[in-house]
Structure 1
Amino acid sequence: MPNSDNQKPIILIVDDVPKNIQVLGTLLAKFDCELAIAMNGQQALDTVEKVKPDLILLDVMMPILDGHETCRILKSNEKTKDIPVIFLSAKTETEDIVKGFELGAVDYVTKPFIGSELLARVKTHLTLKTTQNLLGQEVTSKNKFFSIISHDLRGAFGIIMNFVQIIQENEQFLSKEEIDELLNDIGNTSKNTLDLLENLLRWARSQTGSIKFEPENHNLLEILCDVVRKQEHIAQAKSIALEYEIDAPLHVYGDKNMIFVILRNIIANAIKFTHAEGKILISGEDLGDSVKIMVTDNGTGIKPEVIEKLFSIHTKVSTHGTEQEQGNGLGLVLCHEFVKRNKGKIGIDSVYGEGTTVWFTLPKPQQ
């Protein structure tokens, strides 16, 4: 339950009685956490300025600044308002407890407290805080991702509209070759934009669980042949040899549509980042309880620091292909989602400037 990556959670104990602090410290030693101490409300506020805790155990009756006022100040500050506060107080009147909750506390424990009960509540609120942090990070990351995607879409449509405007306004001055070139650019931009939209829609549906998952036994070669047939003309346009080398029949257990999308995206990426006259080889290997599929190209390769970002929705990587084809980075994110859904693994082996192998595994048919 860390407050950030690879850190222990920090619990701030605020109490003006040293004995109470000692007892709480002994109890909380059962957690793998860091403890911070304050003897009054003002010290607590000063401490929070330096170290942002994941949870505050706050006594109510203290000198200088009592617990209620301390909580009010914490909750009115944008930087500290989300820190959960548990009041610890000898006051048991209903109005005192209600006031604590009205001030924004997540819990109220009366003294003398039962150790096991306090620990259970601390554990619960630390877990809730961690979950809240993770959800917040996910929302922030996805908002950022969609912002970048919308920028890509606006840019693509802007390019298409500019090309159309050039043709409309200068048709009488343009040669047939120039018009054909502009139309070809419009076609390529439109196709890349459509690919982006299709991947975006598939990814969004995968997040909401609206994509049906229907795993069955399949002959991998049949799916691969279908994918290659649909990608071959794109490879031929760049004079890239698209070959597959699967000698023995390889049977897998998974969702056919998802496997098709995985292969299509990986092969399309390989074509995009392979130079003209290059070669792409698709091969398969029987691993015993699973099958490994590899798509190897002799293209541009990928820098090591980029590889770890390619499967994450949190960090979008957008690059252009060898002939300035647009890349939006969403295809491999979708592949990762679908491979994981089919209980497989996916990875990338690459040497920058020499080529890349993108591989994934699928389980073999169930007996």
Structure 2
Amino acid sequence: MTNESSNTGAPVVLVVDDTPANLGLVVECLEGKNLRVAIARDGDEALRRAELVLPDLILLDVMMPGLDGFETCRRLKAMEKTRDIPVIFMTSLTQTDEKIEGFRAGAVDYVTKPLQMEEMAARVNTHLKLRSLQKLQEEQNARLQREVKTREQAEEALIEVVNGVRNVSNAIAHDLRTPLTELRSRLEVLTLTLRREGNEDTLPELEVALSDVDHVISIFNALLRLAEIDAGVRRSGFLPSDLGSIVSDAVEFYQPVAELRGIGLSLQCEGDLTTVGDPLLLAQALGNLIDNALKFAREEGEIKLTARRLGDTIAVSVADDGPGIPDAEKPKVTDRFYRGDASRGTPGMGLGLALVKSVATLHRGSLGLADNQPGLIATLTVSCAV
């Protein structure tokens, strides 16, 4: 390497030329531009120097004894450590096919002999800037790849933890459902016995206990249904179904409840609503949406259901005129056991919308929540295909 500039952070340019006079002029010009310079006098030396120094740019003479510039460039581009270093040819060759051969060998530019030093310095400066930007982009890409990998690993670990917790909760639900059912049976037998004996004093407490046990059992049943849906085993129950009939039956089932509260419950169906799915799960999901709307609808208010086909999907919307759900809570209300501020004073266990979302996912659909101004529009979409 020649005497380098005192600016140790400056880019390094490897100059390859078998003519000492040319070397001297180029080195003097580049060092005058505060660049560091390394030199080589033939192709073989250029290959060794390039691999050792790893310059930021190479100025390469074409006509040299032994390895000419074209072959030297090809070998530089074949080596992993030097393939990305930009090469500028210095040549007196001016024919188009000779220039094309140089670009095919891997060069990024040409300067023509006799060299115009200011032009050469300008081209060197331009390609050094491009090289610097390329390195910066490569570093950013590498950093992004590391961040993506880290996030993927964190996501995998989180999914494993969530699945572990979910499996534990599912196992608990499964193991406790049987003794709870037995407990309920014993309480029911005790209630009947006391009623036959005319002992009415403790009956109210027993009835409350039965209600509490029923509530716990319903939670466990919901958890087990969610577990089956998450595992995908409920797809075995898929069959051609008329979603219009399922919605109509759900509306008919909840009609008496709506009438007791003076709430209008209407349904409008549009188009062919035939799909392939699990009719029991779809009925439960729609029932949850209607039940949720009934909880929050205003007295003497109205709940409107619409079912329509949209291309390859069917959308069922349930619109009420209640308080609705704040935008900040919409992403959370489908989480299991989540209870928003508006629902804390109403009966429920925070699994209704979670189950609806799981049923939608199982049917390659989604659950959307939108403002009804006032109220909420909950839209269950399902795919018409298997």
TM-score by length of 2: 0.48
2:142 equivalent to 1:33: yes
Deviation at 1:213?
3.7
Deviation at 1:239?
4.2
Aligned-partner SS, 2:157: helix
Q: Which residue does the alignment assign to 1:227?
A: 250
Q: Deviations over 1:99-129 (max 9, x none)?
A: xxxxxxxxxxxxxxxxxxxxxxx98x974x5
CA distance in 1, matches of 2:349, 2:306: 26
Distance 1:330 1:139, change over 3 A: farther
Aligned-partner SS, 2:235: coil
Q: Which residue does the alignment assign to 1:325?
A: 346
CA distance in 2, matches of 1:364, 1:209: 17
The one-letter code matched in structure 2 to 1:244 is: L
Q: Deviations over 1:13-39 (max 9, x none)?
A: xxxxxx89x97x96992772339xxxx
CA distance in 2, matches of 1:285, 1:27: 53
Distance 1:247 1:136, change over 3 A: closer
8 Å CA contact 2:270–2:308 kept in 1: the answer is no
Deviation at 1:192?
4.5
CA distance in 2, matches of 1:200, 1:275: 30
Distance 1:287 1:247, change over 3 A: closer
2:382 equivalent to 1:344: no
Deviation at 1:189?
5.0
Q: Which residue does the alignment assign to 1:258?
A: 281
Aligned-partner SS, 2:332: coil
8 Å CA contact 1:238–1:277 kept in 2: the answer is yes
Higher helix share goes to which structure?
Answer: 2
Q: 2:355 aligns with which of 334, 338, 352?
A: 334
Q: Which residue does the alignment assign to 2:380?
A: 360
8 Å CA contact 1:251–1:365 kept in 2: the answer is no
Distance 1:145 1:136, change over 3 A: same
The one-letter code matched in structure 2 to 1:242 is: L
The one-letter code matched in structure 1 to 2:142 is: C
The one-letter code matched in structure 2 to 1:255 is: D
Matches within 5 A, 1:291-310: 291-310=314-333
Deviation at 1:347?
0.3
CA distance in 2, matches of 1:239, 1:323: 23
Aligned-partner SS, 1:281: strand
Q: Which residue does the alignment assign to 1:60?
A: none
Q: Which residue does the alignment assign to 2:312?
A: 289
8 Å CA contact 2:309–2:315 kept in 1: the answer is yes
CA distance in 2, matches of 1:299, 1:146: 36
Deviation at 1:268?
1.9
Deviation at 1:229?
3.9
Deviation at 1:307?
0.4
Mark the structure with the bigger radius of gyration. 2
8 Å CA contact 2:263–2:302 kept in 1: the answer is yes
Deviation at 1:348?
0.5
8 Å CA contact 1:203–1:334 kept in 2: the answer is yes
Distance 1:217 1:148, change over 3 A: closer
Deviation at 1:364?
3.5
Q: Tell me, which stretches of 5 or more residues in structure 1 are unaligned?
A: 1-18, 36-121
CA distance in 2, matches of 1:188, 1:240: 27
Distance 1:225 1:235, change over 3 A: same
Q: Tell me, which stretches of 5 or more residues in structure 2 are unaligned?
A: 1-52, 57-80, 82-133
TM-score by length of 1: 0.50
Aligned-partner SS, 1:282: strand
The one-letter code matched in structure 1 to 2:138 is: A
8 Å CA contact 2:312–2:383 kept in 1: the answer is yes
Q: 2:219 aligns with which of 163, 188, 196?
A: 196
- Most deviating of 187-196 and 340-349: 187-196
2:290 equivalent to 1:267: yes
The one-letter code matched in structure 1 to 2:365 is: G
The one-letter code matched in structure 2 to 1:33 is: A
Matches within 5 A, 1:147-162: none
**Aligned-pair identity (%):** 21
Deviation at 1:279?
2.4
Distance 1:269 1:214, change over 3 A: same
Matches within 5 A, 1:33-72: 33-34=142-143
CA distance in 2, matches of 1:234, 1:326: 15
CA distance in 1, matches of 2:169, 2:280: 27
8 Å CA contact 1:227–1:264 kept in 2: the answer is yes
8 Å CA contact 2:235–2:277 kept in 1: the answer is no
CA distance in 1, matches of 2:251, 2:237: 23
Q: Which residue does the alignment assign to 2:100?
A: none
CA distance in 1, matches of 2:342, 2:166: 21
Aligned-partner SS, 2:376: strand
Q: 1:208 aligns with which of 228, 231, 239?
A: 231
Aligned-partner SS, 1:203: helix
Deviation at 1:350?
2.1
Deviation at 1:280?
1.8
Aligned-partner SS, 1:242: strand
